Amino acid sequence: MAKKIFFSLIFIVFLLIAQIVFAQQNAGEVAKKIEEYQRKLNDLAQQRDTLSAQIQYMTVQINLTALKIQETEEKIISTQKEIEILTSRIEGLDTALDHLSKLLLRKVVEGYKNRTVSFFAMLFDSQNANDFINKIKYLKTTQENNQKLLVQVQETKLNFEEQKSLREAKKAELNALEIQLNRQKNDLDNQKAAKQKLLNVTQSDEKIYQHLLEQARAEYAAIQGIISGAGSETKLREVKKGETIASIIPGASCNSSGGHLHFIVQENGSVTNPFNYLKSVDYRNCSGSGCGSSDGDSFNPTGGWDWPLNPAIELEQGYGSTWATRNTWVGRIYSSHNGLDINGSANSVLSVADGDLYRGSYSVGCALSYVKLVHKDSNIVTYYLHVYSL
């Protein structure tokens, strides 16, 4: 019975190994295609000055991600089969270990029963010298066989534990691959959404695309100038926390296609994450492929400031590496967003602290207007862009 089970397991293992070899051949072909698409993507990365080139880049990116998904799925299948092979081996070793352990136990019992047979007892019990020598040889052979059996049991047990450890490692690898697959599928959804969003925004019109690029470049240059202190500024007055200090410009304005507040926090001369200062609040996340989509930027305030707009807050773009920088044309201009783009229940902009209020503007083709608050008794400055001062 044990032999029948053992040979059945060997046959299963053989079939699984054959499937793995076939899968590895396919994986090699997919890997070659991935390398080909990656080279093409790298070549196109520097040639996205036109809408058609940008769309071509996004299409290749989508195809590349789809291939990576296929590669990961094949790795998952291969790893699952390796786990099945290891499981079959473990079952076979378990059967063998059980058989050997029972055999060893029987030998130990037999040895225990014969433990009182002494040298002199065998001598006097033997019919002649040859009979005595044969009994000595039998006893020695039995001891040697028992010793070999013990070693075999120990080796089988060690192999059994090694195979179990390998299976656990493969299970961990499988879990990592499944996480990777989910991430790649999210990337693919984002890339498809970004491509469709670009087509919708530009209406497949090259002039609109060039205007979007020019607008993003100008806004980025203006913001960099403002936070470096190069803006044209006038001190207005001292203000208290919660006081209305400005109003969001409704609709399109300088380098902005729609009304919103660009809120920046600068401490000791360095721009930092506004979420570290702002408190939790009701919000709606519109920073991803669509409002409420799961791919939006993180919204994780941990501070104590009231927000500069009355809630509920609508997040248009988060801080740092954002969905927009990773998936849209703004990634051609900057890779990290230095503030928060937000809207609220009204256009009134509120001071987040006591301090001195300044009105300012910075011109790159047009004048980007803002207000600046130098916080009282602090090394913090906050900027409020795309607003009218009050």
Token pair, residue 367, equals 């004048």
**Residue 109 domain-assigned (yes or no):** yes
Range from 43-52, 177-186, 224-233, 356-365 carrying the lowest mean pLDDT: 43-52
Together in a domain, 67 and 188: yes
- pLDDT over 50 (residue 67): yes
**Average pLDDT score over residue span 259-283:** 97
**Residue 215 domain-assigned (yes or no):** no
Together in a domain, 198 and 266: no
Place of tokens 């988060």: 318
* Percent of the chain with pLDDT strictly greater than 70: 76
Q: Which of 183, 202, 221 is the last residue of a domain?
A: 202
Together in a domain, 72 and 163: yes
Count how many domains the chain has.
2
Together in a domain, 303 and 175: no
- 3-state DSSP assignment of residue 375: strand
* Separation in Å, CA 349 to CA 159, 271, 373: 70, 20, 12
- Going by C-alpha positions, the residue among 253, 313, 249, 265 that lies closest to residue 287 is 313
**Residue 211 domain-assigned (yes or no):** no
Residues spanned by the domain of 271: 234-389
**Average pLDDT score over residue span 291-312:** 93
Residue 143 carries which side chain, given as an amino acid letter? Answer: Q
**pLDDT value of residue 211:** 86
pTM: 0.65
Per-residue pLDDT of 70-120, as tens digits, reads 999 999 999 998 888 888 877 776 666 566 566 655 655 565 555 545 545
* Strand pairing class (261-267; 340-343): antiparallel
Together in a domain, 167 and 79: yes
Per-residue pLDDT of 173-230, as tens digits, reads 999 999 999 989 988 988 898 889 889 888 989 999 898 888 889 999 999 999 999 9
**Average pLDDT score over residue span 25-46:** 78
Together in a domain, 240 and 145: no
Token pair, residue 268, equals 């000791």
349/344 Cα distance (integer angstroms): 9
Together in a domain, 171 and 268: no
**Average pLDDT score over residue span 5-14:** 54
Supply the Cα-derived Rg of the chain in whole angstroms.
Answer: 37
Together in a domain, 187 and 309: no
Per-residue pLDDT of 112-149, as tens digits, reads 555 545 545 555 555 555 554 554 555 555 555 656 65
- pLDDT over 80 (residue 326): yes
Together in a domain, 240 and 183: no
Together in a domain, 35 and 119: yes
Together in a domain, 347 and 250: yes
Mean model confidence pLDDT for the chain: 83
Together in a domain, 183 and 250: no
